[in-house]
């Protein structure tokens, strides 16, 4: 791994991936598509107040050192550029986890585990007649997903996070003009998960509802979990499988009256796209994996085993991405 000298212009630095070299050796190598990304670009370096004028606004960005091309397929592009024909597109959606107090109290969503930021998924295989891992976590005010039979979830939202009080604000009209009109609504999302530990992902059923009263901001939510469908999409990560889940219309809007704002219910301060749920189901019979890939800890005197892993989520229309840190945990 090395940096390219970017003091001048880099026209193209290209290498073949392992798959590309194999196909070239087989005599069937042919370039049919390409993708662009901006993983190494820091847009905050754009300086429109540069003393030397507009020709120098992006100089620091253009001269930022970049990595040489990678041969591994999973290290090429993590943040791909979004193809669009719109010439007036000023904003792009982001994806965030909603673990607000009202949401976790009144819906099936859970919060992460304190300062660790991990979302707990329980494995009941270590439970006995006197103790259960979900009870241990609950007694310590730790939310969790039942990994054997999920009924709760990690709740995700997408939208334009323009900031409270800024434009465009979170009205239904702005959702239509800024998101729907530009094809920036993720009706489906791809979830990548480690198949050594999970055998599937639950998402939201299409009859789920996530909305508020436009006058007094009262939450109107019904989150119903449903099995995601297996997908053949490759992540480039060893042992990872993919599932497709639904994105449900996010109907949280800016209230027309009342002292509360939609920020009490949503983590997106601006026009909102969709809401989605991620609830992983663990593989039955996890045992040796705790020793091979995990560790041990203690919660209020209860000895536990755990495995830490990451679930990756990506919108199929916007390419908005999110990483969810997961801890699978059971009684030792």
Tens-digit pLDDT profile for residues 84-134: 777 777 888 999 999 998 999 999 999 998 777 899 999 999 999 889 999
- Taking Cα atoms as reference points, which of 117, 236, 250, 241 lies closest to residue 180? 250
Residues 6 or more apart from 17 whose CB is under 8 A from it? 70, 71, 72, 73, 76
Per-residue model confidence (pLDDT) at position 286: 95
pLDDT at 313: 97
* pTM for this model (two decimals): 0.83
pLDDT (0 to 100) of residue 5: 67
Spatial CA neighbour of 311 closest among 132, 156, 185, 165: 156
* Rounded Cα–Cα distance for residues 110 and 98 (Å): 9
Q: What angle do CA 131, 136, 141 make, to 5 degrees?
A: 160
């Amino acid at each position: 791994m090395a940096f390219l000298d970017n003091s001048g212009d880099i026209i193209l630095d290209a290498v073949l991936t392992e798959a590309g070299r194999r196909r070239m050796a087989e005599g069937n190598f042919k370039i049919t598509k390409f993708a662009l990304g901006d993983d190494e670009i820091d847009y905050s370096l754009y300086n429109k107040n540069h003393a030397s004028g507009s020709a120098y606004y992006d100089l620091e960005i253009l001269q930022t050192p970049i990595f040489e091309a990678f041969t591994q397929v999973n290290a090429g592009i993590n943040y791909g550029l979004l193809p669009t024909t719109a010439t007036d597109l000023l904003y792009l959606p982001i994806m965030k986890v909603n673990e607000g107090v009202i949401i976790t109290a009144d819906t099936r969503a859970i919060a992460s585990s304190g300062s660790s930021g991990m979302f707990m998924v329980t494995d009941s295989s270590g439970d006995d007649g006197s103790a259960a891992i979900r009870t241990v976590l609950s007694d310590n005010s730790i939310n969790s997903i039942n990994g054997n039979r999920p009924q709760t979830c990690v709740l995700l939202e997408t939208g334009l996070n323009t900031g409270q009080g800024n434009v465009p604000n979170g009205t239904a009209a702005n959702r239509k003009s800024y998101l729907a009109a530009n094809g920036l609504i993720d009706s489906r999302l791809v979830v990548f998960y480690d198949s050594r530990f999970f055998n599937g992902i639950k998402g939201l059923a299409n009859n789920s509802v996530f909305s508020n009263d436009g006058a007094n901001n009262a939450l109107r939510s019904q989150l119903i979990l449903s099995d995601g469908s297996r997908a053949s999409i490759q992540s480039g990560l060893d042992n990872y499988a993919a599932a497709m889940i639904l994105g449900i219309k996010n109907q949280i809007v800016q209230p027309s009256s009342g002292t509360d704002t939609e920020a009490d219910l949503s983590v997106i301060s601006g026009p909102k796209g969709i809401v989605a749920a991620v609830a992983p189901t663990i593989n039955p019979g996890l045992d040796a994996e705790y020793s091979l890939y995990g560790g041990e800890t203690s919660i209020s005197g209860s000895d536990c085993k755990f495995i830490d892993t990451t679930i990756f989520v990506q919108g199929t229309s916007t390419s908005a991405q999110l990483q969810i840190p997961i801890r699978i945990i059971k009684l030792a």
